[in-house]
Amino acid sequence: MRTIVWFLYFWAYLIWANGKLRRGLRDLAAGNDRAVDELTARWVPHWAGSLLRLAGVTVTVTGKENIPAGRPCVFVANHRSYYDIPLMLTQLDGPHGLVSKAEVDRIPLVRGWMRLLRCVFVDRADTHSSLEALRRATENVGRGYSMILFPEGTRNKGPEGSVLEFKGGAFRIATKNGAPVVPVAIRNSRDIMENNGGWMRPAHVTITILPPVETAGMDRQAVRALPEEIRGRIEAALHQKED
- Please give the backbone phi and psi of residue 121, each rounded to the nearest 5 degrees, phi first: -105, 135
CA-based radius of gyration for the chain: 17
> How does residue 73 score in pLDDT terms, banded at 50, 70 and 90?
very high
Residue 50 has pLDDT above 90, yes or no: yes
Q: Residue 115, by phi and psi: left (phi above 0), alpha (psi -120 to 50) or beta?
A: alpha
Report the length, in residues, of the chain. 243
Helix axes 33-54, 18-30, angle to 10 degrees: 150
41 contacts: CB under 8 Å, gap ≥ 6: 94, 95
Residue 63 zone, left/alpha/beta (φ > 0; ψ -120 to 50; rest): left
What pLDDT was estimated at residue 104?
84
Go through the domains of the chain in sequence order and give each one's CATH number.
Answer: 2-238 (3.40.1130.10)
pLDDT of residue 242: 62
Mean pLDDT of 44-51: 96
> What is the predicted pLDDT for the residue at 174?
95
Mean pLDDT of 170-199: 95
Three-state SS for 156? coil
Tens digits of per-residue pLDDT, 162-180?
999 998 877 999 999 999 9
Mean pLDDT, the chain, rounded, equals 94
pTM, rounded to two decimals: 0.94
- For residue 108, with 0-12 CB atoms within 10 Å meaning exposed, 13-18 middle and 19 or more buried, which class applies? exposed
Distances (CA, A) of 180 to 39, 90, 136, 168, 213: 26, 20, 18, 15, 5
pLDDT at residue 123 in the model? 80
Mean pLDDT of 6-26: 96
pLDDT in the model for residue 1: 82
The answer to whether the CB of 113 falls within 8 A of the CB of 100 is no
pLDDT in tens, 78-95: 999 999 999 999 999 999
Average pLDDT score over residue span 189-203:
95
Give yes or no for residue 118 having a pLDDT over 90. Answer: yes
